Structure 1
Amino acid sequence: MKKFLLFIGISVFSIHAFAQFESSKQIYESPKLKDAIKTHKLVAILPFKVTISYKRPPKNFDAAANHDQELKLGKSIQSSMYTYLLRKADNYSVSFQDIEKTMVLLNRAKYTDSLEIHTKDEIAKVLGVDAVIFGTYEQETTKSEAGAIVTTALFGFSKTGEGSITMQIANGSDGELLWRYNKKMNEGLLTSTDDVIERQMRKISRNFPYSK
């Protein structure tokens, strides 16, 4: 029993310490933000641009497969963010466009694979929205899964990598950047896309421009 309690104590302490190493968030607000969001009614969420890298590339690393994984993760972040915002819709002053409709409209305009060469006001016009949420997610794996499992078993947590998420809002009428949030984080063995978005959205809820 004593050993079990000691293990629980070490795990709780370790998880707390693990969280403390995450860097503080950085938030930018345009001087035009407050006036602009008063006119917003419908906002679209774009797939995030994702970069997956490795401190030591795994054996048989496949660049094409890695790129496919980046695209998949970008859409997964889009989906997780939409689900989070939809769950808490009553807390926000705007509605969020269904991501399936967003993707259909982007495909129809042949924008899906070329979002980076279009301005945000061009994208907003195609989608018929007042603003767009977009961003990046960079993930670097620093520890093998096997090593992470051993560390988790011993200490109750394991840092397997580092990530950085940037979430931005652009005005639909002119494409101007209105708001930007950036946060670096430690990634654990059991971290999922839903976990990442849930954790980050909770942290920015007090600063999210559309919060009532």
Structure 2
Amino acid sequence: MKKLLPAIFLIAFIINAKSQTNLYENPQFDDIAKTHKSIAITPFKTQVKLRPKQMKDMTSEQLDRIEKSEGEGIQTAMYSWFLKRKKRGDMQTIEIQDPKATTALLNKKDINYTNISNYTPQELAEILGVDAVISGDFETDKPMSEGASIALGLLVGFWGSTNSAVINMSVHNAEDGVLLWNYNKKVKGGMGSSSEDLINILMRKASRRLSYTKS
């Protein structure tokens, strides 16, 4: 029965979810993307909106750790998504920086999850040595990453799939900081049981307009 739960959540999402999507694509994205050789994905700034009753059983520091874990989970899931597309030959020849390398390079400049918003995508791209940076925000009722879900479950006894989520993703050009692509999607309903499931669902249609991937 446990093995069936992820599939049930995914089916519930596809059938019952109410979604709202906004997609922006820079008219020059295709031409600019052809010059790119490497991209990096930064941790997504995350907000986990808990009910007041749940917040009574945890400190702000504990919530901060959960949100950080969730943001890093989305980053890792995006990295995995790109690697799979590259392996299948569905992407142009481009290197995707390992999140571990991204974290190490940022740490050397004293940049972390807490203060990364103080830096522009152009500044981050220069530090990371890439041609473009993928960044974003994620808002959810319940965390999707395994570490954050377990932590939340242990703290407040709260388990289960996410009921609603809003993800906002952007691709910025390193050379001039120009926004090349933005994807904002709000979903409600039963969803996948992990960050990777969520990214796979959200990117299914959006990737067709992402210049790094082949149609």
Counterpart amino acid of residue 132 in structure 2? A
Which residue in the other structure is 1:30 paired with? 26
Q: Taking structure 2 as the reference length, what is the TM-score of the superposition?
A: 0.78
Identity %: 35
Which residue in the other structure is 1:105 paired with? 105
Which residue in the other structure is 1:91 paired with? 90
User: Would the alpha carbon gap of residues 183 and 31 (structure 1) be closer, same or farther in structure 2, given more than 3 Å must change?
Assistant: same
Shift of 1:186: 2.3
The 8 Å contact of residues 25 and 184 in structure 1, kept in 2 or not, is answered as yes
Identify which of 50, 58, 62 aligns with 1:54: 50
- List gaps (5 residues or longer) in structure 1: 1-11, 150-157
TM superposition outliers: structure 1 runs of 4+ over 3 Å: 15-21, 187-190
Which residue in the other structure is 1:201 paired with? 203
The 8 Å contact of residues 169 and 178 in structure 1, kept in 2 or not, is answered as yes
Shift of 1:101: 1.0
The 8 Å contact of residues 163 and 187 in structure 1, kept in 2 or not, is answered as no
Would you say 1:126 and 2:123 are equivalent positions?
no
- List gaps (5 residues or longer) in structure 2: 1-7, 143-152
User: Would the alpha carbon gap of residues 202 and 108 (structure 1) be closer, same or farther in structure 2, given more than 3 Å must change?
Assistant: same
The alignment yields a C-alpha RMSD, in angstroms, of: 2.9
User: How many aligned positions are there?
Assistant: 191
SS of 1:72's equivalent? helix
The 8 Å contact of residues 159 and 187 in structure 1, kept in 2 or not, is answered as no
Shift of 1:55: 3.7
User: Would the alpha carbon gap of residues 77 and 211 (structure 1) be closer, same or farther in structure 2, given more than 3 Å must change?
Assistant: same
Q: Taking structure 1 as the reference length, what is the TM-score of the superposition?
A: 0.79
Shift of 1:138: 0.2
Shift of 1:32: 2.8
Equivalents in 1 of 2:164, 2:51: separation in Å? 10
Equivalents in 1 of 2:115, 2:13: separation in Å? 41
